[in-house]
Structure 1
Amino acid sequence: MKIKMVNNYQEMSNDAADLIEDQLKKKKASILGLATGGTPEGLYEELVRRYHLGRIDFQEVQTFNLDEYIGLPQDHPQSYAFYMWSRFFSQVNIDPARIHLPFSTTAGDAEAATAYDKQLKQAGGIDLQLLGIGENGHIGFNEPSSFLWADTHYAELSRETMEANARFFAWREDVPQQAITMGMAPILQARHIVLMASGKEKAHAVKEMLCSPISPWHPASFLQLHSKVEVVLDAEAAAELPPHVFAYK
């Protein structure tokens, strides 16, 4: 595991973009696992900028998104499908047939979850998985619990997650309470993981991820088991880390 602290959000976004650009130079037909939310917005802007400069080509890339809210149509402004199309997919040369987004209208649709896992397995698994981290340590919508699901599943969102996401909605009661999310198995089976964290509100979660025992009550701590994780933090998100962590390999 490599942990890198940078000065600010833009440097974090640039560093993460460097890692994705390097991946696509090594393998044009890479399979990327993509995250949403506030943290990677700057990364997607930077990838679009590099595409228009001719530095990155997405024509052969496949993507699999981590998660999606239950109950929002894909054209809803707060759906993660809308997020991806408006910020990234529509602005680069990715083939729409190579884009994979989890979607279900109800939390009981086992077929949708199973089908998503099947698509991912048929593609050969993820080459580079992009992650953020929730204030309670969730990755994707794998929420803290006494156990974690291995496969794609339906998640009841925690109060902390709903409160953190409320800023994206006009009314707090509009925040969805359920989501479909990639499970821990495909995340941990990714050949390379890049986790981004920004802001002081993420500092405690980052410390727990890197410095505490592995526990399903802090899902991100399972990244300690992975052989190739790169964590890119701005100074605020790294504020609670002891100095020795930055030498951790």
Structure 2
Amino acid sequence: MEVKVLNTPEELGKAAAEQAAEVLRAAIKERGRARLTLSTGASQLEFLRHFVQADVDWSKVEMFHLDEYVDLPETHPASFRSYLKERFLAHVPISRYALVNGEGDIRRNIEQLNARLNEAPVDLALIGIGENAHVAFNDPPADFDTEEPYLVVDLVESCKRQQVGEGWFRSIEDVPKQAITMSIRQILKSAVIISCVPYQVKANAIKLTLENEVTNRIPSTILKTHPQWTLYLDKDSASKADAGKVTV
């Protein structure tokens, strides 16, 4: 685990994008291709703005994404498919990608995603941390045991409050009850994990993550078990954590 604290979200996004680009270039140099998992949400905006400008042969990169709401149309402002098309796919000539489709035949959609993801290892995963310390949509208490790459989960109220607070929905009642998410075990199979976690609203989640032993009631603590995890914070998100109490 490596923790890097930058002054601002902008500096955080730039530094994380530089590391992410290095990981992809190394994978392409070694095997001729790279596989990437991207997260979404407000905390990833600065990162993505820099990432799409990175010197990477995007034609040799395959992208997956972490999660999507069940029964939410892509035309909705909160759709993560729409988010990635607008903020990432529209800016890079990526060769192949798989978006999580939460509409239609959910079971079949997941089976197809799982088969696609199992074709080869993932080189790099960008994994955010939620205000309730969730990882992807693995809310507390998270399932640390399932081997399924993607699964359907119920969203807890604290997760729904974050989505409303970030402006994606008008009220908690408008947030879908379920989502498709990449599982914890699948995330941990990534060769490298980078987490961009700026903003004051994430300070308590970061404190809980760094100062507690691994527990599914604080899902983000599991990231500390990964041998190649880098956590990028800004001064606000790092403000509550006590460096002397960090537990690895």
TM over 0.5: yes
Q: Give the corresponding residue for 2:162.
A: 164
Q: C-alpha deviations, 1:44-73, integer Å up to 9, x for none?
A: 1112233xxxx2321110011000011112
Which residue number corresponds to residue 93 of structure 2?
93
Cα displacement (A) at 1:242: 1.7
CA distance in 1, matches of 2:25, 2:61: 11
CA RMSD of superposed structures (Å): 1.9
Shift in alpha-carbon separation, 1:80–1:6, aligned structure 2, 3 A = same
Q: Please tell me the residue identity of whatever aligns with 1:90.
A: A
The separation in 1 between residues aligned to 2:132 and 2:70, in whole angstroms, is: 21
CA distance in 2, matches of 1:43, 1:165: 19
Distance in 2, matches of 1:34 and 1:159, equals: 24
- 2:238 corresponds to which residue? 238
Alignment of 1:95-244 (within 5 A): 95=95, 98-105=96-103, 109-122=106-119, 124-145=120-141, 147-148=143-144, 149-151=146-148, 152-166=150-164, 167-244=167-244
2:72 matched to which residue of 1? Answer: 72
Change in Cα spacing, 1:131 to 1:147, as seen in structure 2 (3 Å) is closer
Aligned residue-pair number: 240
Task: Read off the aligned partner of 1:127 and give its amino acid letter.
Answer: D
Q: Distance in 2 between matches of 1:195 and 1:56?
A: 20
Residues 75 and 81 in structure 1, CA contact (< 8 A), matched pair in contact too: no
Query: How much does 1:146 deviate?
Result: 6.4
How far has the Cα of 1:245 moved from its partner? Answer: 6.6
SS at match of 1:49: coil
Map of 1:55-66 to 2, 5 A cutoff? 55-66=55-66
Greater than 4 Å deviation, 4+ residue runs = none
Corresponding residue for 1:8? 8
Q: Whole-Å Cα distance in 2 between the matches of residues 31 and 20 of structure 1? A: 12
Aligned to 2:38: 34
**Alignment partners' CA distance in 2, 1:213 and 1:221:** 7
Runs (5+) with no aligned partner, structure 2: none
2:129 partner SS = coil
Alignment CA distance shift 1:102-1:6 (3 Å): same
TM-score normalised per structure 1: 0.90
| Amino acid across the alignment from 2:208 | E
CA 1:171–1:244 in structure 2 vs 1: closer, same or farther (change >3 Å)? closer
Segment of structure 1 superposing worse, 61-70 or 86-95: 86-95
Identity of aligned residues (%): 29
Conserved? CA contact 1:153–1:183, under 8 Å: yes
